[in-house]
C-alpha cells in the first residue's frame, strides 16, 4: 500500500460527492486519526475542513445503541418482527402501494441495492424515493432526455485540462472544496478562466474572472442566449451535430428567448458568450442552483444543448459536469433507488427490462409503473394512503420543503420506521420504531462519486451497542417478511457481486452502467478493491463517454431540447415580497448530526442567519445583529440578520443546516413551498417567496456552558465549543428573575453565582461557579448582546476571573470566529497578525499562522480580512 503506513486503512469520506480517499488510523480508544489518501485519484491526499475533522465527530455521545419501539428499548428480534409484520399486513390489506421507503444518497450501494430489491421485487411497490429527489433528480432527467441515459460524460481530469470552467449554481469553494482547490491549482499552471453564475456572491467568486449575478431561476434564458451566440458566431460543430437530433427546435426556442429576464447587462452576457465561444476546452459544472428549481430539468438541458451543439463533450477538458452532492448520490442512481427507475439504469416502464430483472431476482411481484416521488410520498403518508413508511439515513422533517407539513405527515402515518445513528433528530423523534445503524467507519461497502469512481468505505471501529449495518438490517427484515433465500446475505461483498451481475443484464440491453467485470470478485479482492471508474465490463473500462457520438436513445443519437425560460413557481408580491434562496455553509453537513459535534466546525458560523441587502435592511429598520422574522404561506422562521450586498436587493439567503435540535425556530424548509419541476419532481428549494420583518424580543441573550443547555425562549441556537456549548437566545416575555432563568437554562440548581445587573440599561451578567471554576455564564440585554463570544466560549471549565466583564483580559486575546478550521485560527488572530506583521497576502498569513495552508477553503475569508484591513488603512 504505497502512501499508507501499515496501521492505516483506506476508506472514503462520508460527506460530499467529491469522494475523497482517506487513511484511517484508530487510536485504540474509540478515536480515529484521519488524513487524505495521497493515492486516491479524486483528492491525491487533500481533504477539506469537514474531512479533516472526521475524527472529532465520532464517539458514543448521542449514539443510538439499541432498537426502540414507541420510545422503549428492545431487542432486534422484537423490533424487526414488528417491522416485517406491519409491512406484510399493509401489503395484504391495502395493496403494495400502501408501503414506502424514503432513503438517502448517503447510503452505501450495497444498502441501497437490498432496499430497492426488497420493495420493488418483493413487496411489489415502486414507492421508494430518496433525498436525491431533492438533489440530483433534475440532472438525472436532463441527462436521460439528452443522452438516453443518466451518465456524467467526463472525469475530474477534465478540471485539470479545461481552459474555462463555468460554475452554474454551484458554490464549489464551500461544497466541493477539494475539487475547487484542484481547479485553482490548474489555474495557477495554465491560467484556467473561471466564471460563476449565481444570484449571490459566494466564496467561489473570490478568484472568478467573471461573476454573473443573474436573477433567481433565469439560467435557461442565459444559456439560450449562449446557444444563439454560438450559432451566430459560427461556433457550432457540424460534424458532431450529425450525432445529435433537435438542433432546429432548440435554436428556435433559444431565439424566442429574452435574455433580459436574467437582469444581466447586454455587455456582461456578450462577454460571457465571447469567452465561451473563444475557448475550446470548456467545462460547465452545475449543481443545486440549477437542479433545485421548477425549471431544473430545462436548465440542465439548456446547458447540455450548448455542449452538444459545439461537440464540447466527452473530450479532455470539455463537457457538462454535474457534481453530485452526497457521497453515494451516484451509486443510488446506479442501483435504481428512485421511484421512476428500476436497477442498473434499466427502466421500470420497459417491459423487457422489467422481465429480466424479475427473473434475475426471482421476484414474486414487480410494479410496472413509477411510484410516488418524495413530495407525493409524504403527502400520501399524511393523508392515509401510505400506511407504512421506512426512512433510512435522512432527516426529511428538516430537509423536505413544507417541513412542518412533512413533520405532521410522518406523525400521522400509521407506522414509521427510522434507521439512524442517533435518536436526536427531528425525524427520529417521530418514529414508531427506531433502528440503530452502524455509522461511517463501522461499516463496509462501496460508494460512487461525481466522476463515476467507485471507492470502498471500510470499517475500522466496532459498531457500538446493538448497531448494525443498514444492508444487514434490511436483509434481516426481508427474511422475516418471508423471503429468506432472496435476502440471505452474509456480507456486502456478496451483495456487490449480485449487483455487478445484474448490471451485466443492463449491459446486454446496450446500457452504459455495466460493472459485470466485477461480478465474480472474490471476498479478498473486494476487501482490497481500489478506486475504479465504471463501466467495468468486457468491452469497456472507465474513461469518458460520448466523444464518439454514441448515445443511448434507440437511434444512437443525442437530443437537443427546445427549452424556454419560465419564472419560478411563485413570484414575490405585496404579501411576500422577498425571494428566499437557501444553501450550504462551509463547515456543516446538512442537519449537523455529525459535523455539529466538532467544535472547530461549529466555530465558523455558529448561528443560523439570513443575508439581507443593506437597502432592504434599511427599509425594514434592521440593524446589524437584529433578528428577522421570515414568514411564508407554509411556515415561519427567526434568524439573525447579516446585512450584506452579497445578496441582491429583494433576495434573502438562509442556510439549511439548523434543526429542532439546534435552533428550532430556524428550520428554513418550513418556509419553502413544495413546488416541483414537472419533469423531475424536484422541489424548488432556492426560490420560495417570503415576507420579512424585524423581530423585536424583550431581551437578547448569550450563554456558554460546560454542559448542553435547555433553552425555552422563543429564539435559541446552540452550538458546540471546545469547552462545551454556546447559545444565542431571545425571548418575548421580560426576564423577571435572571438567576432563576439561568439555573433553569443550565440545569445547575446548586452552583454558586456571581451576578451584575445594570438596571439603567436593563442588562444582566451572571456566572455560575463550582469548585472555583466557571460552569456557565449568561449575558442578557434589551438589545443584541455585545460581548466577546469566542473568548467567552473558551471559559467554561476554567477559573477565569473577570468573566462578567464579557471581554478578554489582555493576557487572553479573543481569537474571534473560526476562519481556518484546519488549524483552528480565528478572525481576530488573523487581523492582529495582519496588523502587527504588516502582512499583505493570503500566503503571508499562511506563513505566519498556517491558516489557509491546508485545505484552502478559508483562503477567500482570509483575503476578505486582508481587504478589510487594507480598506481601513486607506481610510485612516
Of the pair 416, 705, the CB lying nearest ligand MGD is at: 416
How many residues are given for the chain?
876
From residue 626, give the alpha-carbon distance in Å to each of 613, 641, 696, 783.
14, 6, 8, 8
- Cell numbers describing residue 490: 452474509
Q: From the CB of 136, what's the least distance to ligand SF4, in Å?
A: 16
What does 764 bind: ligand SF4, Mo ion, ligand MGD, none (CB cut-off 5 to 8 Å by kind)? none
Contact mark string toward ligand SF4, 152..191, x via CB under 6 A: ------------------------xxx-------------
Burial 578-587 (b: 16+ CB within 10 A, else e): bbbbbbbbbb
Q: Which of residues 113-152 bind ligand MGD (CB under 6 A)?
A: 131, 134-135
Reduced to 3 states (helix: H, G, I; strand: E, B; else coil), residue 244 is strand
Crossing angle of helices 859-875 and 827-837, rounded to 10°: 50
What does 90 bind: Mo ion, ligand MGD, ligand SF4, none (CB cut-off 5 to 8 Å by kind)? none
In the 8-state DSSP scheme, what is residue 817? S
- C-alpha angle 252/257/259, rounded to 5°? 140
Contact 434, 423 (CB under 8 A): yes
Segment interacting with ligand MGD (CB under 6 A) among 394-402, 535-543, 694-702, 752-760 = 394-402
What does 13 bind: ligand MGD, ligand SF4, Mo ion, none (CB cut-off 5 to 8 Å by kind)? ligand SF4
Q: Which of residues 308-327 bind Mo ion (CB under 5 A)?
A: 325
- Asked whether position 40 contacts ligand SF4 by CB under 6 A, the answer is no
What does 219 bind: ligand SF4, ligand MGD, Mo ion, none (CB cut-off 5 to 8 Å by kind)? ligand MGD
CA distance 480 to 482: 5
Handedness of CA 709, 715, 720, 722 (dihedral sign): negative
- Cell numbers describing residue 802: 473577570
Q: From the CB of 141, what's the least distance to ligand SF4, in Å?
A: 25
CA distance 290 to 279: 23
Neighbours of 504 (CB within 10 A): 18
Handedness of CA 511, 513, 514, 519 (dihedral sign): negative
In the 8-state DSSP scheme, what is residue 774? E
Nearest Cα residue to 28 out of 528, 399, 460: 460
What does 396 bind: ligand SF4, ligand MGD, Mo ion, none (CB cut-off 5 to 8 Å by kind)? ligand MGD
Of the pair 50, 393, the CB lying nearest ligand SF4 is at: 50
Neighbours of 843 (CB within 10 A): 13
Neighbours of 469 (CB within 10 A): 22
Of the pair 177, 337, the CB lying nearest ligand SF4 is at: 177
Candidate list 26, 55, 100, 217; residue touching ligand MGD; CB under 6 A: 217
What does 474 bind: ligand SF4, Mo ion, ligand MGD, none (CB cut-off 5 to 8 Å by kind)? none
Q: From the CB of 330, what's the least distance to Mo ion, in Å?
A: 12
Contact 580, 623 (CB under 8 A): no
Contact mark string toward ligand SF4, 822..841, x via CB under 6 A: --------------------
- Between strands 825-826 and 752-758, the pairing is unpaired
- Asked whether position 337 contacts ligand MGD by CB under 6 A, the answer is no
- Asked whether position 277 contacts Mo ion by CB under 5 A, the answer is no
What does 393 bind: ligand SF4, Mo ion, ligand MGD, none (CB cut-off 5 to 8 Å by kind)? ligand MGD
Candidate list 8, 9, 13, 430; residue touching ligand SF4; CB under 6 A: 13
- Asked whether position 288 contacts ligand MGD by CB under 6 A, the answer is yes
Strand boundaries in 584-634, DSSP class E: 609-612, 627-632
Segment interacting with ligand MGD (CB under 6 A) among 286-294, 754-762, 812-820, 844-852 = 286-294
Which helix or strand (DSSP H or E) is residue 758 part of?
Answer: strand 752-758
The DSSP result for 43-86, as a single string, is: TTT---HHHHTGGGG-SSTTB--S-EETTEE--HHHHHHHHHHH
- Asked whether position 594 contacts ligand SF4 by CB under 6 A, the answer is no
Of the pair 216, 563, the CB lying nearest ligand MGD is at: 216
- Asked whether position 422 contacts ligand MGD by CB under 6 A, the answer is yes
- Asked whether position 48 contacts ligand SF4 by CB under 6 A, the answer is yes
Q: From the CB of 19, what's the least distance to ligand SF4, in Å?
A: 6
CA distance 468 to 465: 9
CA distance 363 to 483: 10
Q: From the CB of 392, what's the least distance to ligand MGD, in Å?
A: 5
- State the residues that interact with ligand MGD by CB under 6 A: 16, 104, 106, 131, 134-135, 168-171, 174-175, 197-200, 202, 216-217, 219, 287-289, 292-293, 325-326, 392-396, 399, 419-422, 425, 437, 439-440, 470, 581-584, 586, 588-591, 593, 656, 668-669, 672, 685-686
- Interface residue list for Mo ion (CB under 5 A): 135, 325
Contacts with ligand SF4 by CB under 6 A lie at 13, 15-16, 18-20, 43, 47-48, 50-51, 176-178
Amino acid at each position: 500500500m504505497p502512501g499508507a503506513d501499515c496501521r492505516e486503512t483506506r476508506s472514503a469520506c462520508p460527506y460530499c460527492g467529491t469522494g475523497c480517499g482517506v487513511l484511517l488510523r484508530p487510536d485504540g480508544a474509540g478515536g480515529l486519526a484521519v488524513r487524505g489518501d495521497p493515492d486516491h485519484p479524486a483528492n491525491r491526499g487533500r481533504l477539506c475542513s469537514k474531512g479533516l475533522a472526521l475524527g472529532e465527530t465520532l464517539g458514543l455521545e448521542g449514539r443510538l445503541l439499541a432498537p426502540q419501539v414507541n420510545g422503549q428499548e428492545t431487542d432486534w428480534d422484537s423490533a424487526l418482527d414488528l417491522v416485517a409484520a406491519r409491512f406484510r399486513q399493509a401489503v395484504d390489506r391495502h395493496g403494495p402501494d400502501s408501503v414506502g421507503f424514503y432513503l438517502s444518497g448517503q447510503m452505501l450501494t450495497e444498502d441501497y441495492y437490498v432496499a430497492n430489491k426488497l420493495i420493488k421485487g418483493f413487496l411489489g411497490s415502486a414507492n421508494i424515493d430518496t433525498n436525491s429527489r431533492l438533489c440530483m433528480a433534475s440532472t438525472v432527467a436532463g441527462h436521460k432526455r439528452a443522452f438516453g441515459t443518466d451518465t456524467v460524460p467526463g472525469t475530474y481530469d477534465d478540471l485539470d485540462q479545461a481552459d474555462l470552467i463555468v460554475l452554474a449554481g454551484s458554490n464549489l469553494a464551500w461544497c466541493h472544496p477539494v475539487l475547487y482547490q484542484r481547479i485553482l491549482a490548474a489555474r495557477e499552471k495554465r491560467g484556467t478562466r473561471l466564471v460563476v453564475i449565481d444570484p449571490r456572491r459566494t466564496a467561489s467568486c473570490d478568484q472568478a474572472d467573471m461573476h454573473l449575478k443573474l436573477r433567481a431561476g433565469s439560467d435557461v434564458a442565459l444559456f439560450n442566449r449562449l446557444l444563439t451566440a454560438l450559432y451566430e458566431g459560427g461556433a457550432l460543430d457540424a460534424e458532431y451535430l450529425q450525432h445529435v437530433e433537435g438542433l432546429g427546435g432548440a435554436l428556435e426556442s433559444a431565439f424566442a428567448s429574452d435574455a433580459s429576464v436574467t437582469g444581466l447587462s447586454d455587455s456582461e452576457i456578450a462577454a460571457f458568450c465571447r469567452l465561451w465561444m473563444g475557448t475550446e476546452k470548456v467545462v460547465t459544472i452545475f449543481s443545486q442552483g440549477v437542479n433545485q428549481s421548477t425549471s431544473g430539468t430545462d436548465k440542465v438541458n439548456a446547458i447540455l444543448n450548448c455542449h452538444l451543439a459545439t461537440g464540447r463533450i466527452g473530450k479532455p477538458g470539455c463537457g457538462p459536469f454535474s457534481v453530485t452532492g452526497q457521497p453515494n448520490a451516484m451509486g443510488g442512481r446506479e442501483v435504481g433507488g428512485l421511484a421512476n427507475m428500476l436497477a442498473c439504469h434499466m427502466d421500470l416502464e420497459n417491459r423487457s427490462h422489467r422481465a429480466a430483472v424479475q427473473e434475475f431476482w426471482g421476484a414474486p411481484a414487480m410494479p410496472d409503473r413509477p411510484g410516488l416521488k418524495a413530495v407525493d410520498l409524504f403527502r400520501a403518508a399524511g393523508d392515509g394512503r401510505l400506511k407504512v413508511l421506512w426512512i433510512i439515513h435522512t432527516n426529511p422533517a428538516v430537509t423536505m420543503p413544507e417541513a412542518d407539513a412533512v413533520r405532521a405527515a410522518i406523525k400521522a402515518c400509521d407506522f414509521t420506521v427510522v434507521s439512524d445513528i442517533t435518536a436526536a433528530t427531528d425525524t427520529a423523534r417521530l418514529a414508531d420504531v427506531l433502528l440503530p445503524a452502524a455509522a461511517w467507519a463501522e461499516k463496509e461497502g462501496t460508494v460512487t462519486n461525481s466522476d463515476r469512481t467507485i471507492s470502498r468505505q471500510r470499517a475500522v471501529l466496532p459498531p457500538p451497542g446493538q448497531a448494525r449495518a443498514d444492508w444487514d438490517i434490511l436483509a434481516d427484515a426481508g427474511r422475516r417478511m418471508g423471503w429468506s433465500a432472496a435476502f440471505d446475505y452474509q456480507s456486502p461483498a456478496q451483495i456487490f457481486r449480485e449487483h455487478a451481475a445484474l448490471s451485466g443484464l443492463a449491459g446486454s440491453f446496450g446500457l452504459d452502467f455495466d460493472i459485470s467485470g466485477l461480478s465474480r470478485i472474490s471476498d479478498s479482492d473486494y476487501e482490497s478493491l481500489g478506486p475504479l471508474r465504471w463501466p467495468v465490463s468486457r468491452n469497456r473500462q472507465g474513461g469518458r463517454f460520448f466523444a464518439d457520438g454514441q448515445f443511448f436513445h434507440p437511434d444512437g443519437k443525442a437530443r437537443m431540447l427546445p427549452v424556454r425560460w419560465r419564472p419560478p413557481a411563485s413570484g414575490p408580491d405585496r404579501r411576500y415580497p422577498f425571494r428566499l434562496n437557501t444553501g450550504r455553509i462551509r463547515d456543516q453537513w446538512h442537519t449537523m448530526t455529525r459535523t455539529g459535534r466538532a467544535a472547530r466546525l461549529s466555530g465558523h458560523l455558529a448561528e443560523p442567519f439570513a443575508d439581507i441587502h443593506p437597502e432592504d435592511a434599511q427599509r425594514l429598520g434592521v440593524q446589524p445583529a437584529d433578528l428577522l422574522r421570515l414568514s411564508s404561506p407554509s411556515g415561519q422562521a427567526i434568524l439573525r440578520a447579516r446585512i450584506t450586498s452579497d445578496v441582491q436587493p429583494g433576495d434573502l439567503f438562509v442556510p439549511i443546516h439548523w434543526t429542532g435540535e439546534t435552533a428550532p425556530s430556524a428550520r428554513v424548509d418550513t418556509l419553502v413551498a413544495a413546488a416541483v419541476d414537472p419533469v423531475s419532481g424536484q422541489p424548488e428549494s432556492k426560490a420560495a417567496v417570503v415576507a420579512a420583518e424585524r423581530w423585536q424580543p424583550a431581551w437578547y441573550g448569550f450563554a456558554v456552558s460546560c454542559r448542553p443547555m435547555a433553552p425555552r425562549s422563543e429564539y435559541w441556537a446552540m452550538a458546540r465549543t471546545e469547552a462545551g456549548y454556546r447559545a444565542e437566545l431571545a425571548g418575548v416575555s421580560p426576564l423577571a428573575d435572571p438567576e432563576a432563568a439561568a439555573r433553569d437554562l443550565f440545569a445547575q440548581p446548586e452552583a454558586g453565582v456571581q451576578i451584575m445587573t445594570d438596571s439603567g440599561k436593563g442588562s444582566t451578567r451572571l456566572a455560575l461557579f463550582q469548585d472555583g471554576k466557571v460552569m456557565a455564564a449568561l449575558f442578557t440585554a434589551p438589545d443584541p448582546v455585545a460581548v466577546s463570544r469566542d473568548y467567552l466560549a473558551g471559559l467554561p471549565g476554567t477559573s477565569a476571573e473577570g468573566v462578567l466583564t464579557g471581554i478578554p483580559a489582555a493576557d487572553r486575546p479573543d481569537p474571534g470566529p473560526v476562519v481556518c478550521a484546519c488549524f483552528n485560527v480565528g478572525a481576530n488572530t488573523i487581523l492582529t497578525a495582519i496588523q502587527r506583521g504588516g502582512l499583505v497576502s493570503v500566503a503571508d498569513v499562511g506563513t505566519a499562522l498556517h491558516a489557509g495552508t491546508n485545505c484552502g477553503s478559508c483562503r477567500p475569508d482570509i483575503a476578505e480580512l486582508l481587504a478589510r484591513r487594507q480598506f481601513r488603512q486607506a481610510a485612516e
